C-alpha cells in the first residue's frame, strides 16, 4: 500500500492549489496535461509548479490534512511552503494530533 501525500502547486498567478495523491509526480503530470484527469481549477493554468509535498499516511489522513490546509489563509499557506515541514512539523503547524485524525 502506497503512502498518501498532501501537496501544494503554484500557478502562474501565484495562487496555491492543495491536493492529495498516492503518486504526486503522476498527479502533477495529470494537472499539467490540462485534460479531464486534472482538477477543473488547474486545467486553465498555463504553468504549475510543485512547491510542497509531504507523505502523511493513509488516504483518510491525507484528506483531513488537505481540508485543514485549505482552511488556512494564503499567508499561512505561504509560510507552510517556505518552511517545508516534514510530517510531524506539518501536524504541529496545523495543530493536529494523530488521535484527531
What's the confidence (pLDDT) of residue 27? 93
Chain centroid to CA 44: how far? 18
What's the confidence (pLDDT) of residue 100? 57
User: Measured between alpha carbons, how far is 8 from 65 in angstroms, rounded to an integer?
Assistant: 12
Question: Quick one: DSSP state of residue 2?
Answer: P
Question: Exposed, middle or buried: residue 28 (CB in 10 Å: 0-12, 13-18, 19+)?
Answer: buried
pLDDT digits (tens, 9 = 90+) for 12-63: 999 999 999 999 999 999 998 877 777 888 888 889 999 999 999 999 999 9
Residue 23: other Cβ atoms inside 10 A: 12
| Structural domains of the chain in order of their starting residue, each with its CATH number | 4-96 (3.40.1440)
Q: Which carries the bigger pLDDT value, residue 37 or residue 3?
A: 3
- Please answer whether residues 101 and 64 qualify as being in contact, where contact means their C-beta atoms are separated by less than 8 angstroms: yes
Amino acid at each position: 500500500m502506497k503512502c498518501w501525500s498532501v501537496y501544494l502547486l503554484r500557478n502562474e498567478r501565484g495562487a496555491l492549489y492543495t491536493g492529495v495523491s498516492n503518486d504526486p509526480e503522476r498527479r502533477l503530470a495529470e494537472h499539467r496535461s490540462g485534460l479531464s484527469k486534472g482538477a477543473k481549477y488547474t486545467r486553465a493554468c498555463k504553468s504549475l509548479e510543485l512547491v510542497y509535498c509531504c507523505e502523511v499516511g493513509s488516504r483518510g489522513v491525507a484528506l483531513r490534512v488537505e481540508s485543514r490546509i485549505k482552511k488556512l489563509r494564503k499567508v499561512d499557506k505561504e509560510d507552510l511552503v517556505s518552511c517545508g515541514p516534514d510530517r510531524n512539523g506539518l501536524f504541529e503547524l496545523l495543530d493536529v494530533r494523530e488521535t484527531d485524525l
